[in-house]
Amino acid sequence: MAKEKIKAKILRFDPDKDKQPYFQDYDIDVNGPVSISELLALIRRNIDSTLAFRTYKCYKGSCQTCVVRYNGKVVKACATQIMPNSEITLEPAAGGKVVRDLVVDFAAM
């Protein structure tokens, strides 16, 4: 059985070395729907170990530490499912200082 893919465009930024944020494209093999958190973990484990994101795994949507912008809408990464063969854009949630990639410091507001 051929694996399905999700195409993700993720906003990257490391303030210690990047002058401007930039988008990086990833093609991720999946076996059915995955949460955004699971998708990010697949990217970090199998494609790009430098990707930074919050890794809390409550999977209940209660702690809200994993929020990201998914196709322009703020969602909880642990509770938002992505269907195979989708093309998505992920960005850090607005409202705080970007620490790195998708990690935002909301206390610095």
Measured CA to CA, the distance from residue 54 to residue 75 in angstroms comes to: 13
The answer to whether 54 and 44 have CB atoms below 8 angstroms apart is no
Q: How confident is the model at residue 105 (pLDDT cuts 50, 70, 90)?
A: confident
Which domains does the chain show, CATH number per domain?
4-104 (3.10.20.30)
Grade residue 54 by pLDDT with cuts at 50, 70 and 90: confident
Task: Output the pTM of the full model.
Answer: 0.89
Q: How far apart are CA 66 and CA 47, in angstroms?
A: 20
**pLDDT value for 92:** 95
Question: What integer pLDDT is reported at residue 60 of this predicted model?
Answer: 58
CA–CA separation, 46 vs 87, rounded Å? 19
Note the pLDDT of residue 24: 98
